[in-house]
Chains A and B, each alone.
Chain A
Amino acid sequence: MLYTVNKSPLTTTNLETCLAIAPDSEPILLYEDGVYGAMDGGRLSKRIKEALERHPIYALQADLEARGIQRIIEGIQVIDYDGFVGLVEEHNVVPWI
């Protein structure tokens, strides 16, 4: 299953809960305000880096660029809308919104 997160990780617990629930190796996609989770140096960065050892994590490029997010945690895969569609074609989706 593809878990998708669209809320900011520091004002909601959506991302943390999703990371706790998603089984190992299941992909996680950050989009809309969820992409703030991809930014390095924040309070949750360590948690995300640990999660990268268990999950592929993707972040939507248009949402990163919209928000001026520069320092992206190493290992997070930046994808465009075609990549988003590809993931959705490949997996059933758990919208963790």
Chain B
Amino acid sequence: MKKVAILMRKAPYGSVYTAEGFRSVMGIGIFEMDAALAFVEDGVYALAKDQNPEQLDMQPLGEGFPMLPEFGVNGFYVHQPSLEERGLSVDDLVMEVQLIDNAGLAKLLAEYGTVLTF
């Protein structure tokens, strides 16, 4: 099975990267490839609870990620140093994730081999 890691590095509403990354991972899941999502740097903000962008005429992005297992996506990893640097903890996130450190992230990306960055 083809394995693809999606590296999410951007905050959710300041650009289209997070939304496009989400669309891509849904597609990868549908085609029955093994997809892992890794949230790094400002990408961790995408998983913050209580996002409410209606006033900006945008769709809430955080709520979408917990639905991805229905599309066959089951690997959710968060870079712990990025989370801590932003004053966040796992309690602030919309779903359960596996925390990884620098070495863990490098290992994950090497294991998956193909990396798409958003």
* A to B CB contacts below 8 Å, 5 in the list: A11-B10, A32-B14, A33-B13, A62-B56, A70-B92
Of the listed residues B11, B53, B56, the one surrounded by the most CB atoms of chain A closer than 10 A to its CB is B11
Q: How many CB-defined contacts (below 8 Å) exist between A and B?
A: 66
* Candidates B14, B49, B52, B62; contact of A65 at CB < 8 Å: B52
B-to-A contact residues, CB < 8 Å: 10-14, 41-42, 45, 48-53, 55-56, 58, 62, 85-88, 92
Q: Are B62 and A68 in contact, CB atoms less than 8 angstroms apart?
A: yes
Q: Are A68 and B87 in contact, CB atoms less than 8 angstroms apart?
A: no
Chain A window 65-86, contacts with chain B (Cβ cutoff 8 Å), 1 for yes, 0 for no:
1111111000000000000000
Q: Are B13 and A39 in contact, CB atoms less than 8 angstroms apart?
A: no
> How far is A60 from B48 in the complex, measured between Cα atoms in Å?
18
A58 in contact (CB, < 8 A)? no
Enumerate chain A residues within 8 angstroms of B53, measured Cβ to Cβ. Answer: 65-67
Tell me the count of chain A residues lying within 8 A, CB to CB, of chain B: 23
> How far is A7 from B87 in the complex, measured between Cα atoms in Å?
18
Enumerate chain B residues within 8 angstroms of A68, measured Cβ to Cβ. Answer: 48-52, 62
> How far is A74 from B55 in the complex, measured between Cα atoms in Å?
24
A-to-B contact residues, CB < 8 Å: 6-8, 10-11, 32-33, 36, 39-43, 45, 62-63, 65-71
* Candidates B42, B45, B87, B92; contact of A45 at CB < 8 Å: B87
Of the listed residues B13, B14, B41, B45, the one surrounded by the most CB atoms of chain A closer than 10 A to its CB is B14
Given A8-B14, A36-B11, A68-B49, verify A41-B87 contact (CB < 8 Å). yes
> How far is A33 from B55 in the complex, measured between Cα atoms in Å?
15
Q: Are B14 and A7 in contact, CB atoms less than 8 angstroms apart?
A: yes
> How far is A63 from B56 in the complex, measured between Cα atoms in Å?
8
Enumerate chain B residues within 8 angstroms of A6, measured Cβ to Cβ. Answer: 14
Q: Are B51 and A67 in contact, CB atoms less than 8 angstroms apart?
A: yes
Q: Are B11 and A8 in contact, CB atoms less than 8 angstroms apart?
A: yes
Enumerate chain B residues within 8 angstroms of A36, measured Cβ to Cβ. Answer: 11, 42, 45, 86
